[in-house]
Amino acid sequence: MTHPRTTEPLLELRGVSAAYGGVRALQDVDIVLGEGEFVVLLGPNGAGKTTTLRTVSGLLQPTSGSIRLQGRTITRVPGWRRTGLGLGHVPEGRQIFPDHTVEENLRLGAFAHRRARERTQRTLAELLELFPVLGERRNQPAGTLSGGEAQMLAVARALMSEPRLLMLDEPSLGLAPIKTAELFGYVQRLHSERGLAVLLVEQEALTALRLADRGYVLERGRVVLAGSAQQLRDDPRVQAAYLGAAPTT
């Protein structure tokens, strides 16, 4: 397994298990992500990718194991507090508020910094410039946006809390390839120009491995493979399962 670039990890999951009622979803998962790293989570349906992100953002309590963010144990810290600690989560299905305007949706993302009005104003202005289409539509109900625009809104909303780590859950789902490329272009820029760390869950494995520094493959709730993006691209098991290559015998 390759190691992240920095010694003090930004995010560290050790022996994390999680369940929905009696249904086990994660078993003894170890994931480490360094400051400014871009890491992808791959795996078949039901592998536990969404559950991993939900556990990190505090939407689901692990049954055992620990989660550390910048060296601080956050396993029992409530989810809404974790946003203020530098975690941004773009959930599966976007979950924007269709009857609220684009700007109102964005302001909801600044909840963690709600007392700092000037800071919110500055971040809002920056994001409306970074995503010009949101600037143009800022007073429109979010429900009138196209799929690609709504996904950009979901990403921008997560960025309103000025996260160190942005977690994205299958952002390409339901988007045309050109819109996916545009969205990943923004994410890549934020990563390379601002040092934003990214934890991406993505079905489009090849696209994800082109963007990422490292990756993990989950199956049935366990990490079965980990390595650099190059190592994963070259791995015959990954090629057979996710990159459309014929299985090797």
Q: Which of 61, 116, 53 is nearest to 88 (CA)?
A: 53
Q: Smallest distance, Å, CB 218 to ligand ATP?
A: 6
If the CB atoms of residues 68 and 222 are measured against ligand ATP, the closer one turns out to be: 222
If the CB atoms of residues 184 and 242 are measured against ligand ATP, the closer one turns out to be: 242
Gyration radius (Cα) of the chain, Å: 18
* Residue numbers at the binding site for ligand ATP (CB under 6 A): 20, 23, 25, 43, 45-51
If the CB atoms of residues 23 and 246 are measured against ligand ATP, the closer one turns out to be: 23
If the CB atoms of residues 24 and 164 are measured against ligand ATP, the closer one turns out to be: 24
Q: Smallest distance, Å, CB 201 to ligand ATP?
A: 6
- Which two tokens mark 92? 């599966």
Q: Smallest distance, Å, CB 93 to ligand ATP?
A: 10
Q: Smallest distance, Å, CB 27 to ligand ATP?
A: 11
Q: Smallest distance, Å, CB 46 to ligand ATP?
A: 4
If the CB atoms of residues 20 and 111 are measured against ligand ATP, the closer one turns out to be: 20
